[in-house]
Amino acid sequence: MTIQTPAVGVETPPERIQEPEAERRRVPEGPVKVVHAFWLAGMSCDGCSISATGATNPSVEDLMTGSIAGLPKVVLHHPVLSVEVGDEFIHPFELAAKGELDAPYVCIYEGSIADERIAAENGGYFSAMGDQVIEGGDRPFPTADRMVEMAPGAAAVIAIGTCATWGGIPAAAGNPTGSMSVMDRLGKDFRSALGLPVINIPGCAPVGDNFTETVAAILLFLQGMGPLPEFDELGRPAWLFNETVHRGCTRAGYYEEGVFAEDYGDKECLVEVGCWGPVVNCNIVSRGAQSHMGGCMAAGGPCIGCTMPGFPDKFAPFYKAPPGSAVSSAASRTVGFGMRRLRALSNHNVSREVRWDELYGGEVPSGWGNVEKPSLLDKTVHFFYEKLQFSGSKKPGRDDSDKWATDRPSRVRGMDAPHDVRETEGRE
Ligand code: SF4
Ligand code: SF4
């Protein structure tokens, strides 16, 4: 592979890496007992590592100890978490790159891939792991080049986090390091040993479970115990990224009723303080940040689109209402105004026992406070509401005007009503 040197600051994509189908290394067909996971970190903040180690379903420990039935044991080679150092740490990476490892492996890349040619012009480097022997001595081996060597032999190449999947913050406007994603670096024609393009698990930081669950699904496939997981056209696990944030957001009810937060800390929908959730694919609302807890909206934060290929530039400036929300929130406000009032009426009605309505004329025997009796408007609205509700079906009735509570449905089903005092008295 040769890389032509562009002028500094000019973002010319490097030459694509292509291997003829016949020359592609193949992974052994399952079942396998051990799979190596090589973690490489480029222009990253290590947030993806922290997210992954916080995953619980499954956890990294579950994968590493082989405690999930049917899955092979994962041997993790991680620049921060591994106890090996120096040559002992680097050696398995080299074996994998040469195709001499005795077990299949996956490559996991965290962080953007900087254009090392820019750093090299000044004799430096952006991110490297171990040394590379070159003419005239050694030099720090750029992490991305190491990944490029290892990728064709890997069962799968997984880009974790938005920097690795789409370039992320290092590739934001200006991009002095020429940063790009793993997909951009390896090119459209790249295929792993299993025949897969790059698998992308975005998020800044990503949901840890999204990563471990995807690894587990790939391993099941490798073992011949599961189907090839479904990925979308951008290489994301389809079952994790096919919904928008908004559809699962706990604040979506406020949006629908046209009630919006005016400030951070308010409990209502955050769209007018900068939430892009309606157009962003992310499952943090249903999965939580960790152990099904937390996540942006749960913590009061609007969605700034951190899982999306357009992040961050297409979501800037942060914390300003997206222009498109002006139309949708105005529509929600208009419809929601009437809907909120109708729902409040119904809420008031269903907050009373039927008994209170029938025996006490709506008076509530609560010692906690004075609960308002239904107004004439309440009664009128619900008279017609019930007509609609029970049209074509039988309305449950009551026959306990001044005695014990007895529900008619039990009698309808042919059962004795144990507390019907009048019937008991009649029999004696
Ligand atoms: S906070 Fe965002 S995602 Fe949640 S309902 Fe509002 S716009 Fe939708
Ligand atoms: S809700 Fe938005 S900001 Fe939060 S993790 Fe998902 S994409 Fe990122």
* pLDDT, tens only, 315-326: 999 999 999 999
φ and ψ at 114, to 5 degrees? -80, 160
- Decide whether any atom of ligand 1 lies within 6 Å of the 305 Cβ: no
Q: What is the pLDDT at residue 139?
A: 86
Query: Whole-number mean pLDDT of the chain?
Result: 87
- Decide whether any atom of ligand 1 lies within 6 Å of the 322 Cβ: no
Q: For residue 143, is pLDDT > 70?
A: yes
* pLDDT, tens only, 72-103: 999 999 999 999 999 999 999 999 999 999 99
Q: For residue 145, is pLDDT > 50?
A: yes
Residue closest via CA to ligand 2's atom 2 equals 303
Percentage of the chain surpassing pLDDT 90? Answer: 75
* pLDDT, tens only, 373-405: 999 988 999 999 999 999 998 887 755 544 444
Cβ within 8 Å of residue 177, ≥6 positions away: 43, 112, 114, 115, 118, 119, 126, 170
CA of 161 to the centre of ligand 1 (A): 22
Helix (H, G, I), strand (E, B) or coil at 93: helix
Kind of pairing between the strands at 137-142 and 128-134: antiparallel
Q: For residue 422, is pLDDT > 50?
A: no
Q: Summarize the confidence of residues 165-174 as an average pLDDT.
A: 97
Q: How far apart are CA 222 and CA 427, in angstroms?
A: 73
Q: For residue 419, is pLDDT > 90?
A: no
Helix (H, G, I), strand (E, B) or coil at 377: helix
Question: Is CATH 3.40.50.700 the classification given to domain 24-240?
Answer: yes
Ligand 2: residue of 48, 251, 273, 307 to mutate (most ligand atoms within 8 A of CB) is 307
**Contacts for 366-375 with beta carbons within 8 Å, 24 or more apart?**
372/348, 374/348, 374/349
CA of 154 to the centre of ligand 2 (A): 30
Q: What is the pLDDT at residue 26?
A: 54
* pLDDT, tens only, 329-366: 999 999 999 999 999 999 999 999 988 988 888 899 99
Closest-CA residue to 271 (of 283, 280, 262): 262
Helix (H, G, I), strand (E, B) or coil at 110: strand
Q: How far apart are CA 261 and CA 273, in angstroms?
A: 7
- Decide whether any atom of ligand 2 lies within 6 Å of the 296 Cβ: yes
Percentage of the chain surpassing pLDDT 70? Answer: 86
User: Nearest ligand to the C-alpha of residue 251?
Assistant: 1
